[in-house]
Every structure is written in structure tokens, then in C-alpha cells.
Amino acid sequence: MKLSIVATLYQSAPYINEFHERASATARRLVGDDYEIVLVNDGSPDNSLDLAVKLTEQDSHVVVVDLSRNFGHHKAMMTGLAHAKGERVFLIDSDLEEEPEWLLKFNEQMDQERCDVVYGAQGERKGGAFERSSGAVFYKIFRKLTGINQPDNIVTARLMTTRYVQALLSHRERELNIGGLWIITGFKQATQLVCKHSTSPTSYTLSGKFGHLVNAITSFSSLPLVYTFYSGLFISLSALLFIAYLFLRYFFISSPPSGYTSLIASIWFFSGLIIFFLGVQGIYLSKIFSEVKQRPYTIIRHIYRNVSEME
């Protein structure tokens, strides 16, 4: 099979039929009839699954992978890639903010540059001022703490060769961050500037974005642990200097320390730091706990194909 188009479904009911129509038309222009469309239902609360199953009855190119619950966008994408059989795999969101027609330009650039990945990146991040500024902060912090040069404003849409996809799938993290995995997998990758549309509100809340940032950093870097060590060392040295200063005042200036306000403030401050440092270490311990259990990061309830091929 020459081409696989992979997309996830979550509250995708308003877009799924148009997405299928446009993705199918684009695939036929590129490879004729030798393609498949893999749709992964990530526990969508609407009727996305019902609509997708109807597509499998009408179009033998469509495969629907129904997950047992919502596992998250990144894990659903990896599951879809694991079921892709094409020599080239086009990963894209199904909400039409990313155009299925980009596939043609991505494929042309891949042929010209002989690379393994062509991914889309926005020249200017979509959304309001908060979404743009929070996105910029995320990428800066991520690059600073991990050393991974993840480009700004990358989108889901990307065309990949099968050897790159297999290398990507060889990562076995349970708490994965696919953005970092895209980069560290390597191979020759090329960027194409795209304009992402705004068809639906983002499903990422502020707490979700913060959690995503914490997960991304702790998945690829141990620097927070290193920083806690140096912070503790700095605080200890500062305390020793302050104690030495108090001894000098007491024995040579005859000025004993007085007052409890500064003492209480210091205890409060350092207690907070201790709890913070323990929390950082706890995050890493929780990741180790999650990884050693070796649980699958998704569970498939059913795979739907054409009626004659249904599993």
C-alpha cells in the first residue's frame, strides 16, 4: 500500500464526513486507489464513532480503530500510526483546521528534498493573545530545559516514510510526549509553512497546558532534578553565611538577634522550598512507577473495516 492517512476522532462529528471526502479525493489524486484512511476514536463523547463506522460500510479504504476510553491525543496518534500500512503515512487532525490537501505539497517537498518527514509549522500561531503567548513560553521553556530544538508552532500534520514511522513506534514510553519524540527520532526532516484554520475551540485548558508542559519536560530532561540540587546547595551556603554573621554579631558586637517575624518567614519560605523539591522528585518517581508497570498506553475495543473484512 502506497499511502496511509491517519487521524484521531474526538468531538469530530461536525467534520468527519467532509474530512473523509476531502482526504479521499486528495489521496486518489496522489496514489489512485492504493490508500487507506485510519481513524482512531479516542473515546469521543459525541457520535463520531457511529459516523466513522458508517464510512467503513460505504468505503473499503476506511479503517476505524475504536479505543476502550479516552487515552489522550498523543497516545491515540501513536496507536493510529501502529495500524498504518502505507509506504508513506500522512498524520493529520480531523477537525479541518489542517487541510487534507496539504498532502500534495508535503509529498512534492518530500520527493524534492529526499527526506523522511515533512511537517507543517505555522508562521504565526493561531488563537488569541493568551494562546499565542502561552505557546511561545512553552517552546522556550521546553528547549531550554531539554536541549531538544523543537520548532515553534508545529502542527500535527506531517508526511512520514514507513521507516521513520517504525523508528517512532520503537519508543515505548507510557507517559509519552509525541512532540519531543518526533524530534529525537531523527532522520532528515523538512518544514513547510502552513496556515492553520480556527474551526473549533481548543480542548486544552490552562491546567491541561501546564500539565502538558510538566510532562514534556520530565519526559526528556533530568535538569529539574539537577536544579533542585544546586538550589539546595545555594540555600545551605546562604544559611551558613547568615549563621556566621549572627555569631559575629553575638560574640564581637554584643548584639544578640531579636524578633520572631523573620524567623517565621524563613521557616515558611524554606518549608515551601522543601515541599517543592520533594514534589519535583515525586514527579520523576511517578514516571518511573508508570513505566515499570509496562501497561499498554492504549487499549483497543474494536477495529472496524469493510463489512466483509470486519474484525
- Global confidence as pTM: 0.73
pLDDT tens-digit series, residues 52-64: 999 999 999 999 9
Using a 10 angstrom Cβ sphere, with 0-12 exposed, 13-18 middle and 19 or more buried, the burial of residue 114 is exposed
CA–CA distance, 124 with 82 (Å, rounded to integer): 31
Is the predicted pLDDT of residue 218 greater than 80, yes or no?
A: no
pLDDT above 90 for 81 = yes
Q: Do 288 and 301 fall within a single domain?
A: no
Total domain count, the chain: 2
Asked whether residue 250 falls in the same domain as residue 158, the answer is no
Residue 247: per-residue pLDDT: 72
Let me know whether 143 and 262 are in one domain: no
Based on the domain organization, do 282 and 159 belong to the same domain?
Answer: no
Regarding whether 108 and 18 lie in a shared domain, the answer is: yes
CA 197 to CA 17: how far, in whole Å? 18
Position 99 in a domain: yes
**Domain shared by 121 and 263, yes or no:** no
CATH number at 168 reads 3.90.550.10
Going by pLDDT thresholds of 50, 70 and 90, the confidence category of residue 15 is very high
- Residue partners of 287: CB distance under 8 A and separation at least 6: 175, 218, 219
How far, in Å, are 125, 136, 159, 201 from residue 128 at the CA level? 9, 13, 28, 11
Residues 112 and 131 in one domain: yes
- Residues 131 and 22: their CA atoms lie apart, in Å, by 28
